[in-house]
Amino acid sequence: MLEDKNQNKTSLAELGEFGLIDHITKYFKVEQPTTIKGVGDDAAVLAASEQQTLVTTDLLVEGVHFDLSYMPLKHLGYKSVMVNLSDVYAMNGTAAQITVSIAVSNRFPLEAIEELYAGIQLACDTYKIDLVGGDTTSSTKGILISVTAIGKANKEDIVFRNTAKETDLIVVSGDLGAAYLGLQVLEREKQVFKVNPNNQPDLDNYTYLIERQLKPEARKDIAGLLKELEVQPTSMIDISDGLSSELFHLCTQSKVGCKIYEDKLPLDPQVISACEEFELDSTMVALSGGEDYELLFTVPIGDFDKIKGNPNFSIIGHITEENQGLQLITRANQEIELKAQGWNTMKA
Ligand code: ADP
Ligand code: MG
């Protein structure tokens, strides 16, 4: 589709690598006090701080992690930043800088890269992050985008995956499964479009689902909310591959088991109605649908009253002994062993 629209567009070859880098980075402002030197030299310079440094990277590949036929490039830019910020927030830290590396084929005109960077810039502005560097190269096919986020946290505030304790409560922020259903809706519209390109889709019933898929927000607010409640999580992880898969990581690394209650899983009403329409089991979707970018964490059982009833959080279960394994307690009070069916792109 992009090829057809390229007549009045600027080719990347015309601009050259340095022209392109200059063009896409010149509107980014540096705002973090720890950014001493951003884009423009051989390396960025960041001021050392008393706190510990958090570093995380994700690589997103066209056709594996996203499909440009329904993922606008601006959203892709935004989401690539969110995916990384989410990992910093999952350590209970704050993010300050990112680097962005891209490989693009000549099928993309300058205007496409501008769109991508408009999304990256919106993410930087919204989350108060500086873009401090990256790399730009060509690819033979498609687009790859790799973001590295740099953050910090006080040593005593950092929360790992491997420190959940028996009897801890298991908590998730927000709700689950919407991003996966958003993807199902977009996939379906893509198929409809192939058959009848004039069809105008009516997506009103799916706005939340599509937004969760195309414009996820990383939970920057959770660290502050927990501080206010005087709750220090005992372990934490972000939900990128689905609840089951993340519980599996958390429990395996902490050498514990868990019990999760089906009736406690937080579901948006749009998730429930879309599950009926797609004939999907909403529990399966909550457990195995990926890309929610919510936080999953454990807290001491004594913090029950501080978390209970807070609209940002759902207590979905508790940690058990390792030999109990990972159990889902269904509405019918049956115990089912959880499997780590993640959002495994390697299997796709
Ligand atoms: P080098 O040859 O040293 O790798 P580059 O010419 O690749 O330098 O990059 C010049 C400057 O532009 C560096 O500060 C680099 O971090 C930055 N940069 C390069 N590509 C990107 C990009 N896609 N996004 C943001 N900054 C970039
Ligand atoms: Mg370079």
Residues whose CB is less than 8 angstroms from the CB of residue 340 and which lie 6 or more positions away in sequence, other chains included: 244, 245, 247, 248, 249
The number of distinct structural domains making up the chain is 2
- pLDDT category at 8 given cuts 50, 70, 90 is confident
Query: Separation of 79 CA from ligand 2 center, angstroms?
Result: 23
The residue among 105, 124, 153 that closes a domain is 153
Q: What are the DSSP E strand ranges found in the chain?
A: 35-37, 45-46, 52-61, 94-104, 130-138, 143-153, 169-173, 235-239, 257-261, 294-299, 313-320, 326-329, 335-337
Q: What is the pLDDT of residues 47-69, one digit of tens each?
A: 998 999 999 999 999 999 999 99
- Dihedral class, residue 344 (left if φ above 0, else alpha if ψ from -120 to 50, else beta): beta
133 lines ligand 1 (CB under 6 A): yes
Residues 148 and 173 in one domain: no
Ligand nearest to the backbone CA of 102 = 1
Q: Would you say residue 2 lies in a domain?
A: no
Query: Separation of 20 CA from ligand 1 center, angstroms?
Result: 10
Domain with residue 113: its CATH number is 3.30.1330.10
Q: Give CA–CA dist 118/126, Å, rounded.
A: 12
131 lines ligand 1 (CB under 6 A): yes
Residues 184 and 323 in one domain: yes
Nearest to 242 by CA among 273, 301, 285: 285
39 lines ligand 1 (CB under 6 A): yes
Q: Which amino acid appears at position 155 of this protein? A: K
Mutational pocket test of ligand 1: of 17, 22, 135, the residue with most ligand atoms within 8 Å of the beta carbon:
135
- Nearest ligand 1 atom to the CA of 99 is 25
Residues 82 and 205 in one domain: no
| Domain of residue 38, residue span | 12-153
Kind of pairing, strands 326-329 and 257-261? parallel
135 lines ligand 1 (CB under 6 A): yes
**Residues 26, 27, 28, 30: is their CA dihedral positive or negative?**
positive
Q: Going by CA atoms, what residue is nearest to atom 15 of ligand 1?
A: 133
Q: What is the CA radius of gyration of the chain?
A: 21
Query: Separation of 136 CA from ligand 1 center, angstroms?
Result: 7
- pLDDT category at 143 given cuts 50, 70, 90 is very high
2-6, 58-62, 96-100 — which is least confidently predicted? 2-6
Residues 317 and 234 in one domain: yes
Q: Going by CA atoms, what residue is nearest to atom 16 of ligand 1?
A: 133
Write down the mean pLDDT value for the chain.
93
Q: Give CA–CA dist 264/266, Å, rounded.
A: 6
Q: What is the pLDDT of residues 197-233, one digit of tens each?
A: 888 778 889 999 999 999 999 999 999 999 999 999 9
Q: What percent of the chain has pLDDT over 70?
A: 95
3-state secondary structure of 290: coil
Mean pLDDT of 265-284: 97
Mean pLDDT of 156-179: 98
Q: Going by CA atoms, what residue is nearest to atom 1 of ligand 1?
A: 42
Q: Are 64 and 167 contacting, i.e. CB atoms less than 8 angstroms apart?
A: no
Residues whose CB is less than 8 angstroms from the CB of residue 78 and which lie 6 or more positions away in sequence, other chains included: 119, 120, 122, 123, 215
Q: Would you say residue 161 lies in a domain?
A: no
Residues whose CB is less than 8 angstroms from the CB of residue 20 and which lie 6 or more positions away in sequence, other chains included: 12, 110, 113, 136
Residues 190 and 51 in one domain: no
Q: Give CA–CA dist 113/102, Å, rounded.
A: 9
146 lines ligand 1 (CB under 6 A): no
Ligand nearest to the backbone CA of 20 = 1
Kind of pairing, strands 52-61 and 143-153? antiparallel
